[in-house]
Amino acid sequence: MNPSKKNVAAVLVALVLAGGGAFALRSTGSSVKAGSAPEASEAPLAKNGGAIEGKAARAARDLRLGRSFTYDVKAARTVGSGDKVAMATKIGGRLVLTVVGEAEGGAAVRAELLTPSREDQPAVAGSMNGLSTPFFFVVRADGAIGSFGFPKTMPGDARRQLRSIVSALQVVTGEKDAWQTRESDGAGELVASYTRRGDHLEKTKLSYERLRTPNGLVTPGSMGGTYEVRGGAQIDVDASGWPTSLVEDVAITATFQQVKMAMVEKTEARLVAQGEAKELAGSYEAAKGSFDGDEDALAEGAALAQKNADENLVGGASFRTLLADLEAAKDGRGRSKTAARLGALFRTKPEAVEEARSILLAKGTKESTAKSLAAALGNGGTKEAQKALSDALRSNDTTPGTKTESAVSLGLVEKPTAEARKALTEAMKSPSSDVSDSATLALGNLAKAASESGDPDALGKGEQEDAVSLLLAKLAAAQTPGEKALALDALGNSGDARALDAILAHVGSGDTIVRAAAVGALRFIMDEKAAQVLALATRDPDASVQMAALNGIGTRPVVPFLGALRQVLAEDDDVQVRLTAVRVLARAVNVVTEVESILAEVAAKDADAKVREAATQALSKPKAPVER
Amino acid sequence: MSFARSFAAAVLAALAFAAVEKTASAATVTGVQTAGKDYSRSISKDDFGAGFQLYARSTAKDYAQMCTYTDPEARCASVVSFVKPICKTIWQAQHAAYCAKGATVGYSAEGKAGTDVTLFGKDFDLFSISGGAYAEPESTTASYGIYVLGKKIRGASASELSVDIPIAERTLVSASATFNLGPVPITVKGEATGSLGIELAMSAGTATIGGRARPYAGVDGVFSAGVGVSGASVGIYGDLLLVEVSTPATAKITSLGNKRFAYDAALDLEIHTLDGSVGLYGEFMSYRKQWEIFSWSGLEYSYNLGRTQGSFSL
Residues of A in contact with B219 (CB under 8 A): 336
User: Taking 70 as the threshold, does the pLDDT of residue A390 lie above it?
Assistant: yes
How distant is the Cα of B218 from the closest Cα of chain A, in angstroms? 7
Give tens-digit pLDDT for B52-100: 788 888 999 999 999 998 899 988 887 777 778 888 888 888 899 889 9
Output the DSSP codes for A465-514.
HHHHHHHHHHHHH--SHHHHHHHHHHHHHHT-GGGHHHHHTTTT-SSHHH
Flag the least confident range among A506-515, A616-625, B284-293, B294-303.
B284-293
A266 vs B182: CA distance, rounded Å: 11
Among B14, B150, B183, whose Cβ lies nearest the Cβ of A523?
A: B150
Q: Kindly determine whether residue B171 and residue A374, on different chains, have CB atoms separated by under 8 Å.
A: no
Yes or no, beta carbons of A258 and B47 under 8 Å apart: yes
**Contact at CB, A340 and B231, closer than 8 angstroms:** no
Range scoring the smallest mean pLDDT among A165-174, A554-563, B10-19: B10-19
**Predicted confidence (pLDDT) at residue B171 exceeds the cutoff of 70:** yes
Per CB-CB distance under 8 Å, the chain B contacts of A120 are: 232
| CB-CB under 8 Å, B167 with A87 | no
Q: Min CA distance, A592 vs chain B (Å)?
A: 15
| 3-state DSSP of chain B | CCHHHHHHHHHHHHHHHHHHHHHHHHCCCCCEEEEEEEEEEEEEECCEEEEEEEEEEEEEEEHHHHHHHCCHHHHCCCCCCCCHHHHHHHHHHHHHHHHHCCCCEEEEEEEEEEEEEEECCEEEEEEEEEEEEEECCCCEEEEEEEEECCEEEEEEEECCEEEEEEEEEEEEEEEEEEEEECCEEEEEEEEEEEEEEEEEEEEECCCEEEEEEEEEEEEEEEEEEEECCCCCEEEEEEEEEEEEEECCEEEEEEEEECCEEEEEEEEEEEEEEEEEEEEEEEECCCCEEEEEEEEEEEEEEEEEEEEEEEEEEC
Coil vs helix vs strand at A246: strand
Tell me if A532 and B12 make a contact (CB, 8 A cut-off).
Answer: yes
Residue A294: the pLDDT is 61
CB contact under 8 A, B188 and A309: yes
* A96-100, A393-397, B71-75: least confident range: B71-75
- DSSP bridge partners of A460: none
Please tell me the least confidently modeled range out of A49-58, A472-481, A584-593. A49-58
Distance CA A96, CA A110 (A): 8
| Chain B residues with beta carbon closer than 8 angstroms to that of A479 | none
What does DSSP say about strands B249-257 and A216-218: parallel, antiparallel, or unpaired?
unpaired
What is the model's pLDDT at position A577? 92
pLDDT at residue A295 in the model: 59
Residue A576 sits at the vertex; the CA angle it makes with A572 and A580, to the nearest 5 degrees, is 90
Q: What percent of chain A has pLDDT over 90?
A: 56
Tell me the mean pLDDT in the region A207-212.
Answer: 90
Question: Nearest residue on chain B to A538, judged by CA atoms?
Answer: B17
Residue A549 to residues A567, B110, B165, B169, Cα–Cα distance (Å)? 14, 18, 26, 29
Asked if omega into A122 is within 30° of 0 (cis), the reply is yes
pLDDT of residue B178 exceeding 90: no
Q: Cβ of B179 and A490 within 8 Å?
A: no
Q: Which candidate in A218, A263, A532, A556 is best for mutational testing of the B interface (most B CBs within 10 A)? A: A532
| Amino acid making up residue A531 | A
Residue A71 pLDDT greater than 90, yes or no: yes
Is residue B246 very low, low, confident or very high in pLDDT (cuts 50, 70, 90)?
A: confident
The confidence score (pLDDT) of residue A313 equals 92
Mean pLDDT of chain A, nearest integer = 84
- State the average pLDDT over residues A393-420: 96
**ipTM value > 0.95:** no
CB contact under 8 A, A438 and B44: no
pLDDT, tens digit, for every residue of A485-543? 999 999 999 999 999 999 999 998 888 899 999 999 999 999 989 999 999 999 898 89
Give B-chain residues touching A154 at CB under 8 angstroms.
none
3-state class of A365 per DSSP? coil
* pLDDT attached to residue A535: 92
Report pLDDT for A1: 37
Q: Which chain B residues are closer than 8 Å to A302 by Cβ?
A: 178, 185, 187, 228
Contacts of B32 in chain A (CB under 8 A): 541-543
Compare all CA atoms of chain B with the CA of A620 and give the residue at the minimum distance: B44
**Per the CB < 8 Å rule, is B185 touching A564?**
no
Q: Percentage of chain B with pLDDT > 70?
A: 85
Identify all chain B residues contacting A489, using CB atoms and an 8 Å cutoff.
145, 152, 155
User: How far apart (Å, rounded) are the C-alpha atoms in residues A530 and A525?
Assistant: 7
The residue with greater pLDDT, A213 or A395, is: A395
Give pLDDT tens digits for A220-253: 877 778 889 999 999 998 877 678 999 999 999 9
CA distance A554 to A109: 53
- Rounded Cα gap, residues B6 and B10, in angstroms: 6
Average pLDDT of every residue of chain B: 80
**Res A458: pLDDT:** 63
Nearest by CB: B241 against A79, A126, A333: A333
- Report pLDDT digits (tens) over A3-43: 333 332 222 222 222 333 332 333 323 222 223 322 222 22
The more confident residue out of A468 and A14 is A468
Q: How far apart are CA A63 and CA A46, in angstroms?
A: 11
N- to C-terminal Cα separation, chain A:
26
pLDDT at residue A422 greater than cutoff 90: yes
Q: Which of B279, B280, B276 is nearest to B297 (CA)?
A: B276
Nearest to A626 by CA among B72, B47, B138, B306: B47
B1 pLDDT above the threshold of 60: no
- As a residue count, chain A comes to 628
Q: What is the pLDDT of residue A461?
A: 67
Amino acid at A101: G
pLDDT for position A82: 62
Q: Kindly identify which residue of chain B lies nearest to residue A553, measuring between CA atoms.
A: B13
Q: How far apart are CA B134 and CA A545, in angstroms?
A: 14
A87 vs A309: CA distance, rounded Å: 16
B208 phi and psi angles, rounded to 5 deg: -120, 135
Cβ neighbour number for residue A315 with a 10 Å cutoff: 14
Cα end-to-end distance, chain B, whole Å: 45
Position B231 scores a pLDDT of 66
Chain A residues whose beta carbon lies within 8 Å of the beta carbon of residue B52: none
B198 vs A625: which has the higher pLDDT: B198
Residue numbers in A near B286 (CB within 8 A): none
How many inter-chain contacts (A to B, CB under 8 Å) are there? Answer: 469
Our measurement of the distance from residue A525's CA atom to the centroid of its chain's CA atoms, rounded to an integer in Å, reads 25
Q: Are strands A225-237 and A200-213 parallel, antiparallel or unpaired?
A: antiparallel
At residue A421, φ and ψ (nearest 5 deg) are -60, -45
What are the angstrom distances between the C-alpha of B124 and each of A231, B167, B249?
Answer: 37, 19, 25
Question: Min CA distance, B28 vs chain A (Å)?
Answer: 9
Please give the residue that has the higher pLDDT: either B4 or A304: A304
Query: Is the CB of A307 less than 8 angstroms away from the CB of B11?
Result: no
Task: For B96, name the nearest residue in chain A, comparing CA atoms only.
Answer: A510
Q: What residue spans of A587-626 are helical by DSSP H? A: 593-605, 609-619
pLDDT at B208: 86
Confidence class of residue A293 from pLDDT cuts 50, 70 and 90? low
- Does the beta-carbon distance from A379 to B170 stay under 8 Å? yes
Listed ranges A85-99, A325-339, B205-219; the one with the highest mean pLDDT: A85-99
The pLDDT tens digits of the residues spanning A433-463 come to 999 999 999 999 999 999 887 665 666 667 7
Question: How big is chain B, counted in residues?
Answer: 314
Among A341, A350, A355, CA closest to A383: A350
Q: What is the mean pLDDT of residues A306-332?
A: 90
Which of A89, A185, A257, A522 should one mutate to test binding to chain B, selecting the residue with the greatest count of B CBs within 10 A? Answer: A257
Spatial separation of the C-alpha atoms in residues A339 and A188, rounded to whole Å: 35
User: Which among B89, B98, B151, B159 is the top mutation candidate for probing chain A, defined by the most A β-carbons within 10 Å of its own β-carbon?
Assistant: B151
CA-nearest residue to A332 within chain B is B218
pLDDT of residue A495: 95
The whole-angstrom distance between B77's CA and the closest CA on chain A is: 13
A527 class by beta-carbon count within 10 Å (0-12 exposed, 13-18 middle, 19+ buried): middle
Which residues in A lie closer than 8 A to residue B4 (C-beta atoms)? none
Residue A617 has what pLDDT?
86
**A305 conformational bin, left if phi > 0, alpha if psi -120 to 50, beta if neither:** alpha
Nearest to A79 among B87, B121, B234 (CB): B234
Chain B residues within an 8 Å CB radius of A486: 155-157
Contact indicator for A281, A65 with CB cutoff of 8 Å: yes
**Interface mutation vs chain B, best among A212, A248, A256, most B CBs within 10 Å:** A256
* Closest of A200, A151, A203 to residue A172, by C-alpha: A203
The pLDDT value recorded for residue B120 is 64
Query: Cβ B232–A504 below 8 Å, yes or no?
Result: no
Instruction: Please give the pLDDT value at position B4.
Output: 47
Contacts of A262 in chain B (CB under 8 A): 181
User: CA-CA distance, B84 to B97, in Å (whole number)?
Assistant: 20
- Mean pLDDT in residue range A462-473: 86
- Name the residue among B12, B141, B150 with its Cβ closest to that of A528: B12
3-state helix, strand, coil in chain A (%, to 5): 45, 25, 30
Question: A531 contacts in B (CB within 8 Å)?
Answer: 9-10, 12-13, 16
Q: Fill in the amino acid letter for B186.
A: I
Which residues in chain A have their CB less than 8 angstroms from residue B125's CB?
551, 554
